[in-house]
Amino acid sequence: MAEGAYSEFLDPEVLNRLMRQFLHARVPMVGSISGQHKSPYRGSSVEFAEYRKYTPGDDTRRLDWRVLARTDRFYIREFEADTNLRCYIVVDCSGSMAFGPEGRRKFDYARKLAATLAYMIVHQGDAVGLQCYSDKVLRDIPPRRNPLHLKYVFDTLADAKPNAGTNLVKLLHEFSEKVRQRALVIIISDCFCDVDELLHCFQHLHFCKHDFALFHLLDPQELDFRFDRPIRFMDLEGEESLLAEPAVIRTQYLEQVREYLTKLHEGCNRFNADYRKVQTDQPYDKVLADFLVEREMFVK
């Protein structure tokens, strides 16, 4: 499926390699069906959880008869519940994501991450949804477990084009309000917005008990700011242009970037977000592999 139509952002070799791993949620999920993820509720899995005093109305089949016979007291045996995962992949389609050399734009990178993750999630039996946004929500695909749903996701990614401004803050707030049930939220964005407001969104997500991860995409040029001549910088998200001598302002620029990144990183830690700083010259499969491994280690 992926080899022909979506080769732009899906690599079968990468998928094969990554499929050996499992994407874990870091917090218990509330699913509608049985799955492989922890649930906050007791269920019928084979894994014993605890004893609880019998209260009228409990299923008598779950009484521990041995304890009753021995102590003449009524205790219920409880087992862990396993449930499925609902994952929302939020992809930034703002103009700034178009920055980068042709074929290696931040948006291209985001599509690869999103498509690969979607494929993996569906194939591990979980539901995946996709939300593309710029200054507004462009496409909102609710999570589904059906493998056929993937085509819809991939088509959406293939059709998406980076354009217009960023309104991530507002959209994340809306998203937090809209998605009541716990979910894994994977945000893929360059996050070029006010960091304090962004962290407020993360707080909101955290409050709603979502497990969320942020793939913060940055181009090496945006981080190094190495230019040898004066440049007229044209805003990808608007009409603004700015004349600057990179040699003159480089110090201040780097200082701003450093300050911003530090603040963002610290904020993510504070709200238990899985923060991933990604440079677009890094291999995306390695980024994903690290992401999966670290999640697995976290869960264990």
Q: What does the binding site for other proteins look like in residue numbers (CB under 8 A)?
A: 95-99, 106, 190, 192-193, 218-220, 222-225, 229-238, 240-245, 247-258, 260-261, 276-277, 279, 282
β 211-218/184-189 pair status: parallel
Burial class (CB in 10 A: 0-12, 13-18, 19+), 297: exposed
Question: Nearer to other proteins by C-beta: 85 or 218?
Answer: 218
Neighbouring C-beta atoms of residue 286, cutoff 10 Å:
10
- How far, in Å, CA of 22 to CA of 113, rounded? 15
Distance CA 247, CA 251 (A): 8
Tokens representing 102 are 């042709």
For other proteins, the closer of residues 108 and 222 by Cβ is: 222
Maximum CA extent, the chain: 87
Q: Closest CB to other proteins among 11 and 92? A: 92
Q: For residue 184, which of 70, 82, 89, 54 has the smallest C-alpha distance?
A: 89
**CB of residue 300 vs other proteins: minimum separation in angstroms?**
21
CB nearer other proteins, residue 63 or residue 223:
223
Using the minimum distance from each CB to other proteins, give the nearer residue, 50 or 235: 235
Q: 136 or 258: whose CB is closer to other proteins?
A: 258
- Least distance to other proteins, CB of residue 120, Å: 21
CB of 5 to other proteins, least distance (A): 29
Q: Which is nearer to other proteins, 10 or 278 (CB)?
A: 278
Closest CB 257 distance from other proteins, rounded Å: 5
Residue from 293, 278, 210 nearest 24 by CA: 293
82 Cα distance to chain centroid: 21
Q: How far is the CB of 91 from other proteins (least distance, A)?
A: 15
CA–CA separation, 209 and 130 (whole Å): 19
Instruction: Give the sheet arrangement for strand 184-189, strand by strand.
Output: 137-144, 127-133, 86-92, 184-189, 211-218, 274-279
By the 10 Å C-beta count (0-12 exposed, 13-18 middle, 19+ buried), 190 is classed as buried
What number of residues does the chain have? 300
Give me the least distance between CB of 193 and other proteins, in Å please. Answer: 8
| In the complex, least distance from residue 213 CB atom to other proteins, rounded to whole angstroms | 14
